[in-house]
Amino acid sequence: MSAEHRAGPGPSSYSGLGTMLRIVWRTRRRGILIWSLGLAATMAFTAAAVAGLYDTPAKIQSYADAVTAGNALKAINGHVEGINSLGGVIQDEFGFLASFLMPLLGISLVAGSTRREEESGRLEALLAGRISRRDPVVSALLVAAAAIAATSLLFALALIAVGVPVSGSVLYAVALGALALVFAGLAAVLAQLTLHSRGVYAGSLIVLALSYVLRGVGDVTETWWTWLSPLGWQEKTAPFAGQRWWVLLIPLVVVGLLSLVAVRLAARRDLGSALVALGPGPATARPGLRRTFGLAAWIHRPTMLGWLAGGVLLTTMLGALSRQLVDAIEGNPAMGEALGTTGQDPVLAVIAMTQLYLAVIATGYVVQAVGVLRGEEADGRLETRLAGTLSRGRWLAAHAGVVLLGLALVVGGSTLVFAGTAALSLGDGADTGQIIGSGLAYLPAELVLAGLALAVYGLRPRWFPIAWAGYAAVAFIAFLGPGLNFRSAVMDLAPTTHVGNPPVGSVAVVDLVTLSVLALLLGVVGFWAFRRRGVPQA
Amino acid sequence: MTDRPTDHRSDTPVIHAAGLVKAFGDFHALDGLDLSVTRGEVHGFLGPNGAGKSTTIRILLGLLRATGGRVELFGEDPWREAARLHARLAYVAGDVALWPGLTGGQCLDILGSTHGAVDEKRRDELVERFDLDPTKRVRDYSKGNRQKVALVAALAAEAELLILDEPTSGLDPLMEQAFQECIRERRDAGATILLSSHIMAEVEALADRVSIIRRGQRVTTGTLAELRRHTRTHVHAVTDAPPSLDTLAGLEDVATERLDGRVDSRFTVAADDLDDVVGRLHAARIQTLTVTPPSLDALFLRTYGVTLDESEAAEPEAAR
């Protein structure tokens, strides 16, 4: 006690970083736990399912033969070295999800505790205390690194548990962690450059999309392009073949440099400032913006454009690769099995896979778009809005209308791009009708998620994570279900399953009507509850 | 009630609440609140943080539904008729939330689009008066400037009723001055104003009547003069001869001392006894006289001081 007292708070005793670390952990721990445990569970589930499904060397070999036939799947899941091993199959199955979820883990951990805090003004209160200007970004990075390390550890344990060799498991887990770290570092730099946490996400996701394309092109053409992509660095560690541990140095050096830049920028710039800022704007609102629908459209535009970009990216890639995918399936029927479309016309199998993935993007859009309403309310703008002659019903109807229109644009735009690129790749547009038809068939299932989100928002905005859990279930089942032969009770949880896998499977009109009615009922509950409850509820 | 002709409304209070209760779970934000605001007055709505001012206003706006009691806005139900009644009022929130990506001017137009009618000329005048740059983006505005946007929008609206929830907490003294002028102009034009505040000087300068609330209940209401009648005036007098104050029962806090052959007296007196006191001081030949009327601050502190003492005294007993 007395010794502590003697040390005293002199200029050399520096407790700001420790305080800031505790603050970041305290405010972010729930999100960190959800992310880490959710990702680890996904990995554990994938590993267990693969181990159960491919339980003999012969089965693993046939899987390897199937997915390495042609280049198409390489472009999507990555080029997996040592795919004729259990670890390799898991890496291939987890590859597509990992290439988005790991970077998103890093981005969200850092964006949430840097620019968002600054934007809200909370950081100002902290910096007035004994916290130095660089402490927030340093602690955001340290907490992110710790969370990523914990996630990697869980990955390794899950892999070892199903019988994957220890060294390969560890290297694969560390390589995935390094991938997440690179994007955490990138987000930390962007948080210094942009004014809005939305800008951090937008910038990071653009880099992620570029990384995905670079890795895809590099893997297909077998050139050095792969080495330009953070996703490529993860892949090139080859955990289940050559085990190139030294490749880990590349992401680690990049993370070091990015962190250094972020900390330097944070120490030099003014609080609340950014390198990218907007000048003055119009002094009056154009007539469109004064209308309820027009303002709602303006509010939802960034969300819609973001998901539309994701959809167009996906359909461009798969459309452009459709010739190769078809050839691969024709050359090896086992590949159709891996895609969950055994013994079907290969062209239809490619369309079915693409439309299912697009449905996952579209449901993500509707859930996030309804979540925007929660943001409007939590920030106090809904109160401002409803203090005038605008009724609750009209406000919600305008926003619901904009979300529906946005859904039509995301699905319609992406589907048309798919039709175009697939026609170019396949040499004719004979399948355009099938492509558009199956895209439209998924709309009722997507609307069920929109209805769920609306119902939750109307009843209790605080319950909104339920809507995201619903989305996670849809994504999980869509991406992993067909390949891993999920039980039908699990598959049936996702509304997308009930569409009937068009154009491979047959679409029952009754099912679409049932889905539509369910969506409508959920939407009605949302409207009914929203008109009855108090505003604002955070 | 709905078939009452709407133009025959001068005798209906603009705002009428009786026994208003709002419970959030076990917590009673409002616990039997009464409030009455008549046409054409500036009504000060006073209370410390957490007293229930904003909750009351949200109920009046139909954003929250009362758990119990009666509330009428223009003689109608604010929950059921929210959007229609809002055509006749304008509102400024305590913490003004706008769209960070839009400019102040765009927000003005958007707010105006949900007001009954907007006087465009007055709007432009107000932008000048409040020294507002409408081309600046909301995210670059200070709190005071965001508040100015909401104030300009509300003052430019052709509204019968202005509901202002601590509208000047971010304004500098110059803007505060402009705000007070604008409120008087609107009042002179016939508007009714409900001004929630804890800035005493502002309420004192503007309000015709005041309601003071605490813990979800109204503690007192009346004109400032009425409220002052219940409080004591401070008197400081220097007289040549000792004033004959001993026989007067209404004096308190009396302190007298002799200074250079004169008599220095300090005391407090109830408003009703003031005339008598001045007569007696005059008889003793006044040299200097300072009479300080009770400020709203003193009123407020006294209202809260008393009840606070009571509750503090009561709590340990209740704990036993």
Q: pLDDT tens digits for B241-279?
A: 988 888 787 788 888 898 888 999 998 888 788 888 899
Structure tokens at A85: 């091993």
Query: Which residue of chain B has the CA closest to A277?
Result: B140
CB of B313 within 8 Å of any CB in chain A?
no
Beta carbons of B93 and A387 less than 8 Å apart: yes
pLDDT digit string, tens, across residues A179-230? 999 999 999 999 888 877 777 888 898 899 999 989 988 888 888 989 999 9
pLDDT for residue A272 is more than 90: no
Chain A (149-168) residues lying within 8 Å, Cβ to Cβ, of chain B: none
Q: What is the DSSP string of A139-183?
A: HHHHHHHHHHHHHHHHHHHHHHHTT--HHHHHHHHHHHHHHHHHH
Residue B91 to residue A387, Cβ atoms within 8 A: yes
Spatial strand order of the sheet with B15-24 comes to B27-37, B15-24, B68-73
Cα separation, A10 vs A21, in Å, equals 21
Give the contacts of A30 (CB within 8 A, at least 6 positions apart).
Answer: none
pLDDT by residue (tens digit) across A366-425?
A: 999 999 999 899 989 999 999 999 999 999 999 999 999 999 999 999 999 999 999 999
A284 touches B: beta carbon within 8 Å: yes
Minimum CA–CA partner of B103 in chain A? A281
- Is it the case that residue A274 has pLDDT exceeding 70? no
pLDDT more than 90, % of chain B: 55
Model confidence pLDDT, tens digit, residues B175-194: 999 999 999 999 999 999 99
* A534:B58 CB<8 A: yes
Q: What is the pLDDT of residue B22?
A: 95
Chain A CB contacts of B87 under 8 Å are: 389
User: Is B97's CB within 8 Å of A278's CB?
Assistant: no
Distance CA A498, CA A476 (A): 15
**Least trusted range by pLDDT, from A120-129, A493-502, B117-126:** A120-129
**If you average pLDDT over every residue of chain A, what do you get?**
89
- Split at pLDDT 50, 70, 90, the class of B309 is very low
DSSP string, A389-411: S--HHHHHHHHHHHHHHHHHHHH
Which residues of chain B lie closer than 8 angstroms to A379, CB-CB? 97
Chain B residue numbers with beta carbons less than 8 Å from the beta carbon of A532 are 65
3-class secondary structure per residue, B165-211: ECCCCCCCHHHHHHHHHHHHHHHHCCCEEEEEECCHHHHHHHCCEEE
Q: Where is A77: in which H helix or E strand?
A: helix A72-77
CA distance linking residue A454 with residue A396, whole number of Å: 10
- From chain A, pick out residues whose CB is under 8 angstroms from the CB of B98: 381, 384
The B232-239 sheet, strands edge to edge: B251-259, B262-270, B232-239, B286-292
Question: What does the CA dihedral A331, A337, A340, A345 come to, rounded to 10 degrees?
Answer: 40
Interface of A with B in 390-429 (CB under 8 A): 390-392, 394
Q: How many CB pairs under 8 A join A and B?
A: 108
Residue A449 predicted with pLDDT over 90: yes
Residue A342, pLDDT > 70, answer no
B95 compared with A258, residue with greater pLDDT: A258
Mean pLDDT computed over A497-519 = 93
- Give B44-68 pLDDT, tens digit per residue: 999 888 889 999 999 999 999 999 9
The confidence score (pLDDT) of residue A136 equals 87
- pTM for this one? 0.84
Under DSSP, the state recorded for A94 is H
On the CB side of A63, CA atoms within 13 Å amount to 28
Confidence at A6, pLDDT banded by 50, 70, 90: very low
DSSP-assigned states of every residue in chain B: -TTS-TT--TTS-SEEEEEEEEEETTEEEEEEEEEEE-TT-EEEEE--TTSSHHHHHHHHTTSS--SEEEEEETTB-TTTTHHHHGGGEEEE-SS----TTSBHHHHHHHHHHTSS-B-HHHHHHHHHHTT--TTSBGGGS-HHHHHHHHHHHHHHB--SEEEEESTTTT--HHHHHHHHHHHHHHHHTT-EEEEEES-HHHHHHH-SEEEEEETTEEEEEEEHHHHHHTSEEEEEEEESS----TT-TTEEEEEEEEETTEEEEEEEEEGGGHHHHHHHHHHT-EEEEEEEPPPHHHHHHHHHHHHHHHHHHHHHHHH-
Residue B229, pLDDT above cutoff 50: yes
For residues A538 and A255, the model is more confident at: A255
